[in-house]
């Protein structure tokens, strides 16, 4: 056998040996639950309606509660989670507050109307997110998504509509030795995130959001 061919064969064998020596992925069933709260006092940009300038100030509190309708199987290889889609997050969104509508038609009188809003609850079953890892022992949760009809009383700011289940939590931290220890059957992780926005001209007001997540991993034994 030629030396070059022998070297190539040895390299292939070495790669195969390393692959066979690598431990199999650690497999878990993941369930998540969470709460997200948004509280705002937001005045939108003025709009023209029939020659009148209309401004809507919305003050509201929105609480979303959600959990997995069924577990998601996820795998960790080398301490990193293999990209996984987490679907079927179900829950409720409770909304309360009021609107203040100001109408300026150019005359001396500016009309202000208070609009009280009944407390409402919307239900959903189509929440979803994705898990990824950039390094061992670190799991990133992408911003969760859900399809919900938009509420106008109180009027929800665009930032609330864009993140219907609130901001994604900070990355989950998990010990690689814990992942590799087959004797540990259940792992619980918690994470949260707080976000605040102050609106600038032509809008005004502020928005505060906070999300808290609990993730439970149950090891799948072979």
How much is the pLDDT for 51? 85
Count of alpha carbons within 13 angstroms of residue 164, beta-carbon side: 23
Is the CB of residue 100 less than 8 Å from the CB of residue 56? yes
Region 200-204: what's the mean pLDDT?
A: 96
pLDDT tier at 22, thresholds 50, 70, 90: confident
d(CA 221, CA 87): 23
pLDDT tier at 15, thresholds 50, 70, 90: very low
Torsion, CA 203, CA 208, CA 211, CA 212, rounded to 10: 180
Q: How many residues does the chain have?
A: 222
How much is the pLDDT for 165? 94
Query: Would you kindly state where each structural domain of the chain is located, as residue ranges?
Result: 23-219
How much is the pLDDT for 2? 55
Q: What is the pLDDT of residues 101-133, one digit of tens each?
A: 999 988 788 899 999 999 999 999 999 999 999
Highest mean pLDDT among 4-8, 103-107, 197-201: 197-201
Mean pLDDT of the chain: 90
Which run of H or of E encompasses 8?
A: helix 3-21
How much is the pLDDT for 91? 97
Q: What is the pTM of this model?
A: 0.83
Cα angle 63, 73, 68 (rounded to 5 degrees) comes to 20
pLDDT above 90: residue 196: yes
pLDDT above 80: residue 164: yes
Which run of H or of E encompasses 7?
A: helix 3-21
């Amino acid at each position: 056998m030629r030396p070059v061919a022998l070297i190539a064969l040895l390299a292939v064998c070495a790669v195969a040996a390393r692959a066979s020596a690598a431990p199999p992925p650690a497999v878990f069933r993941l369930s998540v639950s969470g709460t997200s709260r948004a509280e705002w006092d937001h005045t939108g940009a003025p709009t023209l309606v029939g020659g009148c300038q209309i401004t809507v100030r919305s003050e509201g509190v929105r609480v979303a509660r959600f959990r997995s309708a069924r577990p998601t199987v996820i795998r960790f290889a080398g301490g990193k989670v293999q990209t996984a889609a987490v679907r079927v997050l179900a829950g409720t969104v409770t909304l309360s507050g009021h609107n203040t509508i100001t109408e300026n038609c150019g005359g001396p009188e500016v009309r202000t109307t208070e609009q009280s809003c009944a407390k409402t609850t919307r239900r959903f079953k189509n929440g979803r997110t994705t898990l990824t890892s950039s390094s061992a022992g670190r799991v990133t949760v992408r911003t969760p998504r859900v399809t919900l009809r938009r509420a106008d009383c109180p009027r929800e700011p665009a930032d609330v509509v864009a993140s219907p289940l609130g901001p994604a939590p900070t990355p989950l931290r998990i010990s690689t030795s814990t992942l590799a220890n087959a004797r540990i059957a259940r792992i619980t992780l918690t994470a949260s995130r707080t976000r605040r926005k102050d609106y600038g001209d032509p809008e005004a007001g502020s928005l505060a959001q906070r999300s808290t997540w609990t993730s439970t991993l149950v090891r799948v034994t072979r």
